[in-house]
Structure 1
Amino acid sequence: MTTENRGTKAIYPGTFDPLTNGHLDLIARGAKIVDELVVAVLRNTQKGTPLFTVPERVEMLQEATQGMAHVSIATFDGLLVDFARTQGARAVLRGIRAISDYEYEFQMAMMNRKLAPELETLFMMPAEKYTYVSSRLIKGVFELGGDVSSLVPSNVEARLKAKVPGKNA
């Protein structure tokens, strides 16, 4: 079966360090729009030292998306457009929480369009209750002893507690 016959496949890329309920919101809603959604964990990141390893992030995503139809988890490094081509994807799903996200995401979308004109970018806003949530904010609040239980899946909260002993025990 060719990719064209299967419908629209999209990539939702990110570091997911850690996975948040905002990410899950976009995954669930994005999976309703496209025929297949590949959640792609970036292996090499320029965002500094990650809290969780790539295999840990993949496991958390697999646990949290278990039962979601048409969602798979993968890893990649290098150019997103190259990964999208190898996957036979026709779109990239990106979340936008604020104007600052839009400015960055717009630049990335335009560069991706230059490199791969056949690849479309779909921008989605998270549910209102997650518009301020970011992985970086979750890590910072948790490391200072704050409660993030309503902002991350329970499996992620458990891993945060194991990773940062003595916090929110």
Structure 2
Amino acid sequence: MFKALYPGSFDPPTWGHIRMIRRAAKLFDVLIVGIGENLKKGKSLCTTQEKIEGLSKETSDLPNVEISSFSGLAIDFAKKKDASCLLRGLRSAKDMDYEMEMAEANYKLTGIETLFLMAESDTSSISSTLIRELAANGAPLGDFIPSYFESLLQNRIKKS
């Protein structure tokens, strides 16, 4: 069985993430979407439970996709879940340098390979940083994130 872990902070999950999950679900017997805590990004826009609920709704038609959360290193979670590989999305050459460093370190630590999928061109400019900026300024978010997360963020902005 070919099982992949697609780890990320998914804060919030974007259409780019959803499309990556849908594409990857066709390639692997099992795809685990691992929601990890990214301490570098500061305060989360969405709770882990909200991310699990929203991603589960968006992927409910994909029986081979499992949404899960973890703390610590993604590579340790991959080992725990018996994943054959890590899956990472690349939006641009800018992402490649960082992802290659991580892939090399993860392989040295565990022997688990990292596979890369290029983002589709119409989602390659979407980032969680962009979403945070747009949300903070009250811009419409529907072209960038699923409606579940758009509603959550709009409600949070109204309350703050």
- Per the normalisation by structure 1, the TM-score is 0.90
Displacement, 1:84? 0.7
Counting aligned pairs with the same residue, the percent is 39
Matched residue, 2:7: 13
Amino acid at match of 1:123: F
Q: Distance in 1 between matches of 2:23 and 2:86?
A: 14
Tell me, yes or no, if structure 1 residue 159 matches structure 2 residue 152. Answer: yes
**Residues 138 and 154 of structure 2 are in contact (CA less than 8 Å); yes or no, is this contact kept in structure 1?**
no
Amino acid at match of 2:64: H
2:33 pairs with 36, 39, 42, which one? 39
Structure 1 residue runs of 4 or more that deviate by more than 3 Å after TM superposition:
none
**Residues 11 and 128 of structure 2 are in contact (CA less than 8 Å); yes or no, is this contact kept in structure 1?**
yes
**Residues 15 and 45 of structure 1 are in contact (CA less than 8 Å); yes or no, is this contact kept in structure 2?**
no
Displacement, 1:160? 1.4
**Residues 7 and 87 of structure 2 are in contact (CA less than 8 Å); yes or no, is this contact kept in structure 1?**
yes
Tell me, yes or no, if structure 1 residue 98 matches structure 2 residue 84. Answer: no
Q: Distance in 1 between matches of 2:40 and 2:135?
A: 22
1:6-155 equivalent positions in 2, closer than 5 A? 7-43=1-37, 45-117=39-111, 119-155=112-148
Deviations 1:28-68 (A, max 9, x none): 00110111000000035322111111111111111211111
Q: CA separation of 1:44/1:99 partners in 2, compared to 1, >3 Å: closer, same or farther?
A: closer
